[in-house]
Amino acid sequence: MTHILGHRLLVIATLLALTIIAVTPLLRAESPCTHDGDLHYFRVVAMRSAMKQGFLFTRWLPDLAFGYGYPFFNYRAPLSYYLALGLWLTGMPLPLALNLVYALSLVGCAVGAYLWARELFGAAGGIVAAMAYAYAPYQFLNALLRGNAPESVALALFPFILWAFRRLALEGRRRWFLAATGFLTALYLTHNISSLTFTPFLAAYLALLGWVYRRRGHWKEVALAMGLALGLTAFLWLPALAEKRYAQLHMSRVTRNNDFHYNFLNLAEILAPPTPFDTSLMNPPMEIHLGLALVILAGIGLVTGWIMTRPHPSPLSAGERRERQRKWGEVELRATLFFSAASAVLFVFMSTRASLWVWENVPLLPFVQFPWRFVGRAVLPLALLASATCTERRATRTVHHFLPPVLCLPLFLSSFPLTYPPFGYCPRAPHPMVLDIHRYEHQSRLVGVDPVGSYFPVWVEERPTGSPLEIQYEAGGPVARFDKTALPNGARVLEANYGPNRACITLRSPSPFTARYLAFFFPGWRVWIDDRPIQIRPTDPDGLIAFDVPAGRHTLVIRFTETPLRTAADLISLISLLALVVAMARLSNNPINQWSNGLMAHPPGHPATQLPSHLVLLLLALLLTLLKAAVVDRTDTIFRRPALRSDGILPGVEHPVSQPYADGMVLIGYDVSATRIPGDGTLRVDLYWTARERPTRPYQTVVHLIGPDGFLWSPQGSIRPWGYQRPLPTDTWEPGRYAIDSHEVELLPGTPPGTYRVVMTLFDQETLQPLSLLNEAGQPAAPSLTLMEVTVARPHRPADPPTRGRLDLPAGPLALLTADFDRDHAAPGDTVRAAFLWRVEGQSTAPFTPTLALLADDGSSAAEFSLAPLVPWFPLVEWRSGEVWRSQHRLTLPAILPSGTYTWTLQVARSSNYPTARLTVAVPPRTFTPPPVGQEVGTHLGDVATLIGFTLNPATCPFCDLRPAAPLTVTLVWRAETTASASYHVFLHLLGPDGRIVAQSDGIPANWTRPTTGWLPGEYIVDPRVLTLPPDALSGTYTLQTGLYLPGDGRLITPDGLDVIRLTEIEVGSP
């Protein structure tokens, strides 16, 4: 017994030593900055608060959603949260407790994989499997980037379940029955999605064992263990499935990021080799890899294991040879090798787009959300295959002492770049409180501490942005959720007693009224008035509990209880627990089938079950730990180094540009996925940004495709592709680092073939003001940058027009399917953008000249616009029958158009008028009397307008002695000399002492409301503009100047031949 205990302790010590590199990033009181780290952190806080209120388990966490409550554990498995809570209750900081959940999961992965693989391929194989599983890239992804604690714990349970069920099937002992039932129950209480994906794998594995051992196995006990695991957890999964219609679970799949259609991988991504950790990259993209070293070892193990387990040539009869093979487990080994390889291939297949049909047709599978999760499921069978490299009929000293360290070495080394949290560590309070939850909900806007609000009751149509309960939380003491503001005049509460998810209220009211309880309506909440149950209902639109109270004195009891369904599920779990006790009493703890019966691949005492030299393994662990701590963590190596050079060059960028922008931003370069795309395809653009100096504002970018007509032929906002990680705001950037800014640009349905420009714009997130790029002289040059041109070909299939707003109007050889206008309210002179989808019905030799008329209510035509040619660079003769194409048009409303309601009408021939949409026109206030100005100018700009003058605010300017970061309001007054045929923009520049632009305002006059195409001759237009001096503005004399220009063309000229009007000089003082 002492020998066995010592051996087991040695195994555990060796595995702990070998996993030290993996867990070291987690052995600290700061948590890695991860996707879901904050969510788990605050959920545990909510659990501890509920526990203080007397709940060991509650489906309804009362303190979430600003105190309105949230049915989180009616749908989510709680075990991983209880692990973190238990560690926190010992007194350690909560961030450390959460870190230890991941660390223990990694160690558990190693121990479980060792136990399972050891029984098949010996202790040497067990060590290889343990390290292959624990050091898989997916493990680090979960712990250091995604922050998915439930899945990490589930991954650790997988091998324990397989090991325990195999033992139960072959021995039938009581201990294995308890272990199998317990481990599977733990999985079902840990992670819903892992339970959904692992259970079929477990069933297939048990079916494999059933085929191998047939009647010799304990299949009744196996079936009972699986049934009891389901029964024990019925209290959780049965309400989650039966009551899913009560929560907004669909929200977990409606966003692009959570839609499986956009989360497939390709084999190149899955099998990508390891790369160094880039210390200069601020936002490493999320990458899902199997691990090339693991795949290679698995391939070697499959071949080695298959060869080593071949039947020996023997003079025995065929029946005797089969019995010999069964006796030593060779049939099981070969079957397990095949099963593991097939499972790994299937899991990889499920993560690729080739499995799309399966995802779209198998029930519940879309709830898995991410097909790439199956890459993580492929790791365990691959780890088992890797362990087969140590297969040997006659275990030699070389195999068991030196082969495992050699095989594990590439696993360790390839994991070095994965051990660094991509976004570093985030400081969190060691012992947070409920008030911290509410602060987080305000700051992150993740109400309910959930990324999409999947568990809000369906009756909550308007999600809260706060609640009156927060004041009570801040004051401490019981939270009074009975809303006294709903009481009628003269009513008062006589006594109130609040407890965990309940309240007892005694009140008197002179009249009946509708009471409101500040918790979300959800099945399980019940109300009694004077011991009589009454009907409750949700309020609209906030979904709170409401009920009618009659006049008089009454005692109200409000309580969250179990529904009949939940009670039945609870009873099933209790009965299952009793059944487990009975089964344990009836089962024997002695194996019915002995080892000599040949049901184990390696029975006790077999050389292969003896641990390889622990000194070699411990020495390897020590050397690698020292190498990483002393060299890899401190210097630039092949495992960890910056990619951005000190001169700002980023090697490997496809199109380097080094384009400087204002405010210190620099575009290093960009990559594009293709130069030719189909009309129904997408274009990926990866921008690489750095900063010369720390920017002062938060910026972001958008990428568009612009056609020869100047129109956008892509949606207004580009899409972030899969794997993109948002960097920190640009106003936190420091020089010497860079960020990847990835976009996926889609084309509008029906985009015709042609050549399109890829245009990128950098703009302020808050003001939406574009940031100018700088020319060689360091002066602002343009707000947008054309990256390149791409060719758009015909789509693979015609566009599918939306059903909403379908017209299907006959128009000669075409059918007008849809007509979209960018506005239904406008002013004279505004430009209305119209887009039409046409389907080709047939060929016609007659010219097609459709007209779009704007008809008044009396039927008279207020304006007419020719739509021919529909697409200038794609003539109608090239359109093929059945194709669907888009045309876009710029329609400038006449400046003299009176106010009223009009109808856009398509006219194909004199006798065919087709109404398509309505337009309301409102004439703006016009003035033909010159308004007062602070300083007169009187300068003409072409024949379009005259700048009458301007007024400064502060009024003491130009002698106001402005300070850095101070605002300056300049009100320009223009007089229209004619109605312009094009919409000119106003620019207002403040030039510093060195002649460089330090502040500017640009756009259509009067805050984008008075385009020059709507000016009437002699009209005066007041155009206020605000300039803000930069915080680092130098003292000196600054020059203010203005003018008019046509975007993409040029500026209007003054009579003196200048393209600017110099207004005044302004003195700027020191900060």
Residue-wise pLDDT for 265-292, tens only, equals 999 999 999 999 999 999 999 999 999 9
- Tell which of 560, 575, 606 closes a domain: 560
Which parts of 553-696 fold into alpha helices (H)? Answer: 564-586, 614-627
Q: How far apart are CA 231 and CA 246, in angstroms?
A: 23
Six-digit token string for 218: 């304990």
Composition of the chain by helix, strand, coil, percent to 5: 35, 25, 35
Domain annotation covers residue 127: yes
Considering the domain architecture, whether residues 246 and 368 belong to the same structural domain is answered as yes
961 & 856 share domain: no
Which of 831, 842, 833, 802 has the alpha carbon at shortest distance from 818? 802
Count CB atoms within 10 A of the CB of residue 494: 11
pLDDT value for 967: 86
Read off the DSSP letter of residue 313.
P
- C-alpha dihedral sign at 779, 782, 785, 789: negative
Q: Tell me, yes or no, whether 1003 and 1030 share the same domain.
A: yes
**Is residue 596 in a domain?**
no
Q: Cβ(703)–Cβ(734) under 8 Å?
A: no
Are residues 771 and 818 located together in one domain of the fold?
Answer: no
The answer to whether position 210 is within a domain reads yes
Cα gap 42→440, rounded to integer Å:
8
Three-state secondary structure string covering 681-745: CEEEEEEEEEECCCCCCCEEEEEEEECCCCCECCCCCCECCCCCCCCCCHHHCCCCCEEEEEEEE
Quick one: pLDDT at residue 591?
Answer: 59
Q: How many CB atoms lie within 10 A of CB 962?
A: 22
CATH of the domain at 725: 2.60.40
The residue out of 533, 560, 587 marking a domain boundary is 560
What pLDDT, on a 0 to 100 scale, did the predictor assign at position 256?
82
What is the spatial distance between Cα 325 and Cα 560, in angstroms, rounded to a whole number? 60
1049 token code pair: 């063309």
pLDDT of residue 844: 66
Same domain for 946 and 903: no
Which residue's structure tokens are 């021995």?
A: 171
Contacts of 340 (CB under 8 A, 6+ apart): 302, 381, 382, 384, 385
Q: Which residues pair with 1061 in a beta bridge?
A: 1042
pLDDT at 603: 46
Half-sphere exposure in the Cβ direction for 229 (13 Å, CA): 25
Q: What is the pLDDT of residue 3?
A: 62
Determine the 3-state secondary structure of 181 from DSSP. helix
- Cα four-point dihedral sign 450, 455, 461, 465: negative
Last residue of a domain, one of 514, 538, 560: 560
Specify if 629 maps to a domain. Answer: no
Looking at the structure, do residues 463 and 380 belong to the same domain, yes or no? no
Same domain, 912 and 1054: no
Contact of 526 with 480, CB cutoff 8 Å: no
Q: Does residue 958 have a cis bond before it (omega within 30 degrees)?
A: yes
CATH no. for residue 835?
2.60.40.1930
Which range of residues forms the domain containing residue 553?
457-560
My answer on whether 821 and 893 are in the same domain is: yes
Q: Strand 492-499's sheet: what is its strand order?
A: 492-499, 502-509, 552-560, 525-529, 532-534
Distance CA 379, CA 142 (A): 13
Residue ranges of the chain whose pLDDT lies below 70:
1-4, 311-329, 392-400, 591-612, 844-846, 909-911, 955-956, 958-961, 1071
pLDDT in tens, 802-829: 877 788 888 888 999 999 999 999 999 9
Q: Are strands 945-953 and 967-976 parallel, antiparallel or unpaired?
A: antiparallel
In one-letter notation, the amino acid at residue 674 is A
Q: How far apart are CA 350 and CA 603, in angstroms?
A: 36
463 CB-near residues (< 8 Å, 6+ apart) = 447, 453, 456
Nearest to 897 by CA among 867, 878, 919: 919
Check whether residue 956 and residue 913 sit in a common domain.
no
Q: What is the pLDDT of residue 964?
A: 79
Instruction: Classify residue 847: in a domain, yes or no.
Output: yes
**Are 418 and 485 in the same domain?**
no
Can you count the helices (H) and strands (E) in the chain? 24, 39
Q: What is the CATH number of the domain that holds 530?
A: 2.60.420
Has residue 894 been placed in a domain? Answer: yes
Report the DSSP pairing between strands 425-426 and 31-32: antiparallel
Inside any domain, residue 598: no
Residues 957 and 1037 in one domain: yes
Q: What is the pLDDT of residue 8?
A: 77
pLDDT computed for residue 251 by the predictor: 87
Total domains in the chain come to 5
1053 domain-assigned:
yes
Quick one: 1004 and 1037 in the same domain? Answer: yes
